[in-house]
């Protein structure tokens, strides 16, 4: 896939065209700040993240996120807020550079950044259901993905599981912040690698060619239980397609509870 590094003023003027031509957009704040001025950078970062999400693209926020940890074992409060704000803005990923490439505390930097992201994503203020509210969906699989996330944000579920061929369903789901884990089940290694960049999405290798719908539901829950991601009584939303192995075929949404009788 193509990761477009946005670091020039000209790129801001052609923002939508660049985003649509990319699989992932990187907000390279160092060079971009030099180009447009530091005072303009926060607003541009927010707009890049917002437009990337609107156009169903993943986005990385990078550069000087935990710069002080090159020399120090803990981040500054300002750095903590910087990372948290990027998460609130909707970034899919945050990136370390010198902190891990040449810093004295690379492991601590990764752990600190991960902890900040995870704690921020748990906040109720991060849950939002405004993505594509004004749109008509031409694809059933996208409509199912959006329905699953609205249901997740307005009911008591513990997570979402999606059977996906290409990863598109997981991408659409990740555009709506929920604070809940999205488990992307696929037999394609390329798809499993792709979804790791999507916000809140966890890849799970899964084959189900010879299973019926009840067996698929049961096996999904068992796999989540085996990974310590589900326990007795937990409720999950499952999306899948009637036809196995067909891209764009997601047309089923099911709410299931671990330990209860399953139906197709």
Distance in Å from the first CA to the final CA of the chain: 36
| pLDDT tens for each residue of 166-197 | 999 999 999 888 889 999 999 999 999 999 99
Rg (CA), the chain: 19
Determine what percent of the chain is predicted with pLDDT higher than 70.
93
The predicted model gives 128-145 an average pLDDT of 77
Quote the pLDDT of residue 6: 96
| pLDDT of residue 130 exceeding 70 | no
User: Full-prediction pTM beyond 0.85?
Assistant: yes
Quote the pLDDT of residue 154: 86
∠ at Cα 149 (178, 136), nearest 5°? 130
Quote the pLDDT of residue 145: 92
pLDDT band for position 259 (cuts 50, 70, 90): confident
| pLDDT of residue 83 exceeding 60 | yes
CA distance 16 to 263: 44
∠ at Cα 3 (67, 147), nearest 5°? 100
Where exactly are the structural domains of the chain? 3-125, 140-257
What CATH number should be reported for the domain whose range is 3-125? 3.20.20.60
Quote the pLDDT of residue 253: 95
pLDDT band for position 117 (cuts 50, 70, 90): very high
Higher pLDDT, 218 or 131: 218
The predicted model gives 223-249 an average pLDDT of 89
CATH number for 140-257 (one of 3.40.1380.20, 1.20.1180.10, 3.40.50.300, 3.40.605.10): it is 3.40.1380.20
| pLDDT of residue 264 exceeding 60 | no
CA distance 67 to 170: 32
| pLDDT of residue 243 exceeding 90 | no
């Amino acid at each position: 896939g193509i990761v477009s590094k946005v670091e020039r003023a000209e790129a801001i003027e052609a923002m939508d065209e660049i985003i649509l031509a990319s699989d992932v957009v990187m907000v390279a704040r160092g060079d971009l700040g030099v180009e447009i001025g530091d005072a303009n950078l926060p607003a541009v970062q927010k707009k890049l993240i917002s437009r990337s999400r609107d156009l169903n693209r993943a986005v990385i926020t990078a550069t000087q996120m935990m710069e002080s940890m090159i020399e120090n074992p803990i981040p500054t409060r300002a750095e903590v807020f910087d990372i948290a704000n990027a998460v609130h803005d909707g970034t899919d990923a945050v990136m370390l550079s010198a902190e891990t490439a040449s810093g004295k505390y690379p492991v601590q930097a990764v752990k600190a950044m991960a902890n900040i992201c995870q704690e921020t994503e748990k906040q109720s203020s991060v849950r939002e259901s405004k993505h594509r509210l004004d749109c008509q969906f031409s694809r059933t699989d996208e409509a199912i993905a959006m329905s699953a996330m609205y249901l997740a944000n307005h009911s008591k579920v513990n997570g979402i599981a999606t059977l996906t061929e290409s990863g598109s369903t997981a991408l659409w789901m990740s555009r709506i912040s929920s604070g809940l884990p999205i488990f992307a089940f696929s037999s394609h290694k390329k798809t499993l690698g792709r979804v790791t960049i999507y916000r809140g999405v966890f890849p799970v290798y899964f084959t189900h060619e010879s299973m019926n719908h009840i067996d698929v539901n049961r096996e999904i829950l068992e796999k989540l239980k085996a990974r310590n991601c589900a326990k007795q009584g937990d409720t999950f939303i499952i999306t899948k397609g009637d036809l196995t192995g067909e891209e764009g075929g997601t047309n089923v949404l099911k709410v299931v509870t671990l330990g209860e009788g399953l139906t197709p």
